[in-house]
Amino acid sequence: MSSIVVDRVSKSYDAVEAVKESQFSVEKGELFGLIGPDGAGKSTLFKMMTTLLIPDTGDILIEGFHTVREYKKIRKIIGYMPGRFSLYQDLSVEENLQFFATIFGTTIQANYHLIEEIYTQIEPFRKRRAGKLSGGMKQKLALCCALIHEPKVLFLDEPTTGVDAVSRAEFWDMLKRLKSKGITIIVSTPYMDEASLCERIALIQTGEILRIDSPENIIHGFDKPLFAVSAQNFYQLLQDLRTQPFTERVEAFGEFLHLTTKEAISTEKIEAFLNFKGHREIEIHPTTATIEDVFLDLI
Amino acid sequence: MSQIQNVIEAQALTKIFGDFKAVNAISFDVKAGEIFGFLGANGAGKTTAIKMLIGLSRPSEGEATVAGYDVYQQTEQIKENIGYMSQKFSLYEDLTVRENINFYGGIYGLSRRQIRQKTSEIIEQLGLENHARKLVGSLPLGWKQRLAFAVAGVHDPKIIFLDEPTGGVDPATRRQFWEMLYAAADRGVTIFVTTHYMDEAEYCDRISIMVAGRIDALGSPRELKQQFSANTMDEVFLKLVRD
């Protein structure tokens, strides 16, 4: 039995179709990612999976329970960290944790082993009000509160948005360790570089799932010629390449531009064109796609 | 003039709250027309440093000039000569596109004629001709961000400060936004930007990285990668902040 089954689910808000015929399943103990920008429908999916919103059409099962007919059973066995910080700002770190443990009829001591690693990092601040914590600390406390009743499935809606690169890396390390304890984890993120940390991902845009597969397979599926190009005047380089008939798309990727061409072309030919345009310090080499290249190609 | 002038100069700039040094003697220069990335972990002191530079917070110690004006004595002149775009607050959601531009034009003391001209310029530049009468709240996030940037430049400031301008949008929209920044820098506007996207850090001409109130690294992305023997800015950042 799959841990999560989403079967042809749609949801509209007035005229806006937030989720269109979504379909996917997540296996027990899997780390599954929903990857897409703001407005893609990620949060709406999360709200339906966590029984907070009723789908217009379609069904969702969590650990075999139906999200509409059996919502009470589901609420006992899931942990949910919403995209917006939802703990009590005027309660202390310790009080928040105590509160969530009590609500779920358990104690901090009973499940301390699950949160120990994370909680020890925020313990020095246990008397501080949650509203006064930094972004990274808030995120760690929210994860502790979502874990304190030992859930079978963990729903994390954009846990790393607006969090610095170091805290993000630490957070993903924690997720891997939780996964090793057998918890199913579904996580959404707008950061494409985090996609590769999931076992399988769904790329999602304006309510539609564009592709579901492992990150490796999604990258292998990209079969167009792709080059990394740089030169002294980056902005001019972008403008010049964009006007070329051989160019399918060209975008900034870190210190290089990624150039996708319509058909195979030699690096010499591209270089000759750039020399002709007067570019200096030209660097050009074929490169492999990233999840972000695939995403840009799909939308 | 052959020498490119500095539009921001900071010398040992410091801010102390009680017994906590939020910003600890940072020194750096930013040149005209440069895209300068101001990076750091959450809580490293970036926001406090920016507040001092834009005249909203008085430094405890040190010196700084922004657009040639002193951050202690001339904060009003600084505000007139800079633009500011933050992720949280910038446009009024319940005003239309046109009304927002008019409003900010008025705030910055543009004449009616200038406001009219700027408004049509911005609407045309962003391709918003058919949306000028729509409420900003109804626009997609990516459009709002580009409009917010254009509005931050309504009074032709020398420097535009951007605090995490691209949060939450898709990769294509994020790139369109950066192309606006390149185009502005190409016109000589200085861009001072913070971001958590390390690939965006690579788009900057130079970067500073703040750790616990100090600037621990400063240079072009290429220089920093060499200095820290790293392949990406992500690695540079992790090495610096974790040590």
- Tell me the per-residue pLDDT of A8-28, one tens digit each, with 9 for 90 and over: 999 999 888 999 999 999 999
Give residue B86's pLDDT: 84
Helix/strand number for chain A, H first, E second: 10, 14
CB contact under 8 A, B242 and A166: yes
Q: Where are the beta strands (DSSP E) in A74-217?
A: 78-81, 153-157, 184-189, 200-205, 208-213
In a domain, B124, yes or no: yes
Find the residue in A nearest to B200 (Cα).
A254
Token pair 């202390």 is found at A92
CB contact under 8 A, A254 and B202: yes
In a domain, B70, yes or no: yes
User: How far apart are the C-alpha atoms of A49 and A34, rounded to whole Å?
Assistant: 13
CATH number at residue B124: 3.40.50.300
Q: What are phi and psi of A258, to 5 degrees?
A: -100, 120
In a domain, B140, yes or no: yes
How many domains in chain A? Answer: 2
Give residue A192's pLDDT: 83
In a domain, B29, yes or no: yes
In a domain, B1, yes or no: no
Q: Which domain holds residue B23?
A: 6-242
Q: How far is A252 from chain B (nearest CA, A)?
A: 7
Same domain, A73 and A146: yes
pLDDT at B1 over 70: no
Q: Which domain holds residue A236?
A: 226-298
User: How far apart are the C-alpha atoms of A42 and A128, rounded to whole Å?
Assistant: 32
User: How far apart are the C-alpha atoms of B198 and A160, rounded to whole Å?
Assistant: 14
Same domain, A119 and A232: no
B69 closest CA partner among B110, B8, B21, B120: B8
Same domain, A24 and A88: yes
The confidence band for A161, taking pLDDT boundaries of 50, 70 and 90, is confident
The average confidence (pLDDT) of chain A is 92
Q: Collapsing DSSP states into helix, strand and coil, what is residue B18?
A: coil
| Alpha-carbon torsion (B154, B158, B160, B161), positive or negative | negative
Last residue of a domain, one of A161, A186, A218: A218
CB contact under 8 A, B41 and A167: yes
pLDDT at B219 over 70: yes
Same domain, A233 and A291: yes
Is residue B33 a contact partner of residue B185, using CB atoms and an 8 Å limit? yes
Same domain, A250 and A196: no
CB contact under 8 A, B170 and A166: no
pLDDT at B2 over 90: no
How many domains in chain B? Answer: 1
End-to-end CA distance of chain A: 33
Candidates B167, B171, B238; nearest CB to A162: B167
Give residue B89's pLDDT: 61
Same domain, A35 and A105: yes
Residue partners of B12: CB distance under 8 A and separation at least 6:
B25, B26, B27, B61, B62, B63
Give residue A36's pLDDT: 85
Q: How far is CA A160 from CA A14, A18, A180, A234, in A?
A: 30, 22, 20, 30
Candidates B140, B221, B238; nearest CB to A255: B221
Give residue B100's pLDDT: 96
DSSP designation for A40: S
DSSP designation for A45: H
Decide: residue A10, CB within 10 A, 0-12 exposed, 13-18 middle, 19+ buried.
middle
Q: What are phi and psi of A105, to 5 degrees?
A: 65, 30
Same domain, A56 and A170: yes
For residue A234, the chain B residues in CB contact (below 8 A) are 182, 203
CB contact under 8 A, A165 and B238: yes
Same domain, A180 and A237: no
CATH number at residue A62: 3.40.50.300
Q: Give the mean model confidence (pLDDT) for residues A49-54.
A: 97
pLDDT digits (tens, 9 = 90+) for B116-151: 999 999 999 999 999 999 999 988 888 899 999 999
- DSSP for A189-256 reads ES-GGGGGGSSEEEEEETTEEEEEE-HHHHHHT--S-EEEEE-S-HHHHHHHHHT-TTEEEEEEETTE
B195 closest CA partner among B83, B33, B86: B86
Q: Which two tokens stand for residue B4?
A: 């490119």
In a domain, B67, yes or no: yes
Candidates B42, B179, B197; nearest CB to A167: B42
Give residue B3's pLDDT: 59
CB contact under 8 A, A296 and B172: yes
Same domain, A180 and A256: no
pLDDT: which is higher, B99 or A36: B99
Same domain, A97 and A148: yes
Q: Give the mean model confidence (pLDDT) for residues B17-40.
A: 95
Q: Give the mean model confidence (pLDDT) for residues A62-82.
A: 96
Winning range, highest mean pLDDT, from A244-258, B149-163, B184-198:
B149-163
In a domain, B136, yes or no: yes
Last residue of a domain, one of A218, A250, A282: A218
Last residue of a domain, one of A218, A240, A257: A218
Give the whole-number percent of chain B exceeding pLDDT 90: 74
Q: Collapsing DSSP states into helix, strand and coil, what is residue A291?
A: helix
Q: Give the mean model confidence (pLDDT) for residues A186-205.
A: 91
pLDDT at B26 over 60: yes
Q: Give the mean model confidence (pLDDT) for residues A46-56.
A: 97
Q: Give the mean model confidence (pLDDT) for residues A237-249.
A: 93
